[in-house]
Structure 1
Amino acid sequence: MDLDTGALTTLATVLRLGSLEAAARELHLTPSAVSQRLRALENRVGQVLVRRSRPVRPTEGGEVLLRLAAQIELLQAEALAELRAGSEPDGPPMELAVAVNADSLATWFLPVVADVQASQHVVLELLRDDERHSADLLRQGRVIAAVTSDPRPIQGCRTVPLGSLRYLAVAAPGWVRRWGAGSEVDLARAPMLVFDRRDSTQHAMLAARGWQGPVPPVTSVPSSADFERAVRLGIGWGMLPEPTISDALAEGELVALWPGDGHLDVALYWQHWRLGSTTTTALTRAVRDRAAQVLRPPG
């Protein structure tokens, strides 16, 4: 079965922009022509590829072809770059999307971007998502790779163990004076911080300590830098990445609530397309090198 690459590009554009009208403007077509291309592609593969919602969303089959369209685009760009080897790139850099959790962004991932953009004619779009959900973006075809806590390979992808990011339960000295530390913490009443509604790290720490009481008062702070600042201000206790707070603990600016066992290790993995691509190879090499400088080695 042959698939029209123009139709695949149309599908990818519709799903990226969220509507047939927006895709039509970018592709310099009429909405009717865009709809006809989608319908022809759906007839070709024998199934519906997009849900005509607002925004338009892919079906499972649409996700498969969205990945294919992105892979074709990547391989075409690399082939053209190889043909022009030795000469300066004469076009805009290739845009690649990667899913990364917030704490990896805050601790070790940004140097990866610098490494890759120094050696490849690309720019990286970073989509931030919780490490337990970032693989969904890879499954949907929206990114070429993801930092995830899910070791199970997505179809068509490889999984590379990166190591573990250790989180420590900490609070500000003023918070500890009011609410206590160790076994003295009033867990039912002591204010707690979470990143967002999907953040269960603090709840996992409570479960690890055998807490079965009511959920404590919770404040949501959906930014890694602001989350740490909120802990330092005494708004609540929270789980912070060890690499970012070792100096603060040594200087007494933060206090470990349960020294010795008040930590959680979150194993991280790099999932990427199983594709013979120089760009994904360079990206994976940079990810492994930078992760090894910060994360605890894989178990």
Structure 2
Amino acid sequence: MSTYDPAALECLAAIVEEGGFERAAQRLNVTQSAVSQRLRALEAQVGSVLIVRSRPLRPTSAGQLLLKHTKQLRLLRADLERDLQELAPSAPGSGREDERISIAINADSIATWALDAVHDLVRQRLPLEIIADDQDFTQEWLRSGQVLGCVTTLKQAMRGCRMVPLGAMHYVAVASSSFAQKHLPNGLTAHNFREVPFLSFNRKDDMAAEFVARTFGLKRVALNHLFVPSTEGQLHAVKAGWAVGVLPELLVRPALAAGDIVDVSPGHTLPIQLYWHCWNLESEVLEALTQALIEASARDLDQGNSGR
């Protein structure tokens, strides 16, 4: 089996992660010409094109395999760094960009429970990169080899990965008191939901439509959307009276208790089951991440139907 130049592998990863040759060169502190040369040498060794020169740039199937291999090498180095830190606690961590450990987590988990889960690991100098995406799409980052684990709604374990149920996040429909009094005096119903706008993260986000469909037993729902690409930003917009937000109960609990917002569909919640998927590898770092997420989810998520 061929031995691949680690510098060339990190060059490939930098091109994909930074979205171009120029920014990859800046990150690696080399010239753009050097980046191109390293990539060409790696492609010649593999015998295949590794990057599709499109907008945005994307790895080919062969490129995805090498990208996953590069991430695995990073994980091995992170394990070594962790072991060395235990032997010499006063020694500084590497802090290198190419040691970054990447995971994908849905934005709502980031806004509520997930950051607390990894807090101690970050304090222990784990060079973590969290990529935010919709919970129905985070697994694509893992599938393509760009992250080593993800929090997702996908229940079935992917090939080469293991899956751990985390529990359910409950979503509620909320609005400001003034908005509710003006537009929904009798609460959200099957007859008035089309008359009010709903907040969504982006065009991939179907949380509000799923909440309405399940609450009122409808098959297909068309809503009037306002797009705010931030969970905390959506809560701010709800308080400001922009629209109805279907948000995690964990996030809105303090605002509901304070009377800043109201539940416009009392008694109705949308439970979303979450799962942690990660590469099925022997790794202390990966095991520590997995255990941290399991422990935090046990505290903050509903375990009633989690499968654990």
Structure 2 length-normalised TM: 0.85
Question: How many angstroms does 1:224 deviate by?
Answer: 1.3
Counterpart position of 1:160: 164
Give the aligned length.
297
Counterpart position of 1:244: 251
Is 2:155 aligned against 1:151?
A: yes
Unaligned residue ranges in structure 1 (runs of 5+): none
Aligned 8 A contact 1:153 1:271 in 2: yes
AA at the equivalent of 1:146: C
Counterpart position of 2:65: 64
Runs of 4+ in 1 over 6 A off after TM superposition: none
Comparing 146-155 and 210-219, the one that deviates more: 210-219
Match among 193, 200, 209 for residue 203 of structure 1: 209
Is 2:274 aligned against 1:272?
A: no
Q: CA–CA distance in 2 between the matches of 1:113 and 1:232?
A: 29
Q: CA–CA distance in 2 between the matches of 1:23 and 1:216?
A: 41
Structure 1 length-normalised TM: 0.88
- Written as runs of structure 1 = structure 2, the 5 A alignment for 1:111-190 is 111-118=116-123, 120-180=124-184, 181-183=187-189, 186-190=192-196
Secondary structure in structure 2 of the residue aligned to 1:267: strand
AA at the equivalent of 1:224: T
Comparing 188-197 and 210-219, the one that deviates more: 210-219
Counterpart position of 1:47: 48
AA at the equivalent of 1:67: K
Cα deviation, 1:90-138, whole Å, max 9, x if unaligned, reads 34334222211111111101112311123x4322122111111111112
Comparing 239-248 and 193-202, the one that deviates more: 239-248
Cα deviation, 1:240-286, whole Å, max 9, x if unaligned, reads 211222344345433322222x2111111111122211111111111
Counterpart position of 1:100: 105
Q: 1:16 to 1:53 in 2, by over 3 A?
A: same
Unaligned residue ranges in structure 2 (runs of 5+): none
AA at the equivalent of 2:147: V
**Once the two structures are aligned, what percentage of the paired residues are identical?**
38
Q: 1:185 to 1:169 in 2, by over 3 A?
A: farther
Q: CA–CA distance in 1 between the matches of 2:91 and 2:284?
A: 16
Question: How many angstroms does 1:37 deviate by?
Answer: 3.8
Counterpart position of 2:91: 89
Question: How many angstroms does 1:31 deviate by?
Answer: 4.8
Aligned 8 A contact 2:212 2:221 in 1: no
RMSD: 2.5
Match among 276, 281, 294 for residue 300 of structure 2: 294
Q: 1:213 to 1:47 in 2, by over 3 A?
A: closer
Aligned 8 A contact 2:107 2:132 in 1: yes
Aligned 8 A contact 2:164 2:275 in 1: yes
Question: How many angstroms does 1:58 deviate by?
Answer: 0.4
Counterpart position of 1:2: 2
Question: How many angstroms does 1:216 deviate by?
Answer: 3.9
Cα deviation, 1:208-239, whole Å, max 9, x if unaligned, reads 21457873432212211221122222221121
Q: 1:128 to 1:83 in 2, by over 3 A?
A: closer
